[in-house]
Structure 1
Amino acid sequence: MRQKIVIEIPLHSAKYKRKILTICTIADGVTSVSFEREGKDRVVIKGEDVDAARVTECLREKVTKHARLVTVAMDD
């Protein structure tokens, strides 16, 4: 089942973006990662059977405590 996961996280610098990208891409099942900056800083992750809670938890531990899981939806 293909998922689209949106996580709200502050994108303060290029260093933060690299860390976020690394953490998200090594997670099991992830096929793509992109950043959105429409009013809020967000990371959009697409993939198959991705553990959204675990990815969010890793971001909180390794990047910033302000990571917040916004949505997990089925992607067409």
Structure 2
Amino acid sequence: MKQTMAIKVSMNGHKSRTKAMKIAVGLPGVESAALKGDDKSQIEVKGDGVDAVQLTMLLRKKVGFAELVSVTAEGGEKKEEKEEPTGQALVWPSTTPYYVYELPPASQYHDPCSIM
């Protein structure tokens, strides 16, 4: 299914724009990529079977902040898609063994230090 996606990327200069474009064009299924917006801070990618979330994560990793703005199917329906973190809580197992210390009954207490 052909789709067009817009990704907002924080790009500081010509070098980061070039790097972002190389990353976008390097994914399988991408047919074209173009810079859009007033300050050329959005990349518009057109392709068939391109994973928008994977592209956004690659741009975050290599260039900087990236936000998926919109994904549009070739049919013309515009579908806003916000990426939500799906992180799972990591629970690290404790390697410290827990020991249970039981006190003897009160009648068996022996006070070795009696000052009074």
**Where in structure 2 are there 5+ consecutive unaligned residues?**
76-116
CA RMSD of superposed structures (Å): 1.5
Q: Does 2:28 align with 1:50?
A: no
What residue number does 2:71 align with?
72
Q: Which runs of 5+ in 1 are unaligned?
A: none
> More strand per residue: 1 or 2?
1
Per the TM alignment, residue 38 of structure 1 is displaced from its structure 2 partner at its CA by: 2.8
Q: Give yes or no for the alignment of 1:61 onto 2:75.
A: no
Matched, 1:20 2:7: no
Q: Which has the larger radius of gyration?
A: 2
Question: What do residues 3-39 of structure 1 show as CA deviations (whole Å, max 9, x unaligned)?
Answer: 0010011231110011101100110100000001236
2:37 match: 37
Give TM-score, length-normalised by structure 2.
0.60
Where has structure 1 moved over 2 Å in runs of 4 or more?
Answer: 37-40
Q: Identify, as 1 or 2, the structure richer in helix.
A: 1
The TM-score normalised by the length of structure 1 is: 0.90
Give identity over the alignment, percent.
32
Counterpart AA for 1:69: L
**Higher relative contact order by CA 8 Å / sep ≥ 6: 1 or 2?**
1
How far the C-alpha of 1:74 sits from its partner, in A, is 0.7
Partner Cα separation in structure 1 for residue 39 and residue 68 of structure 2: 16
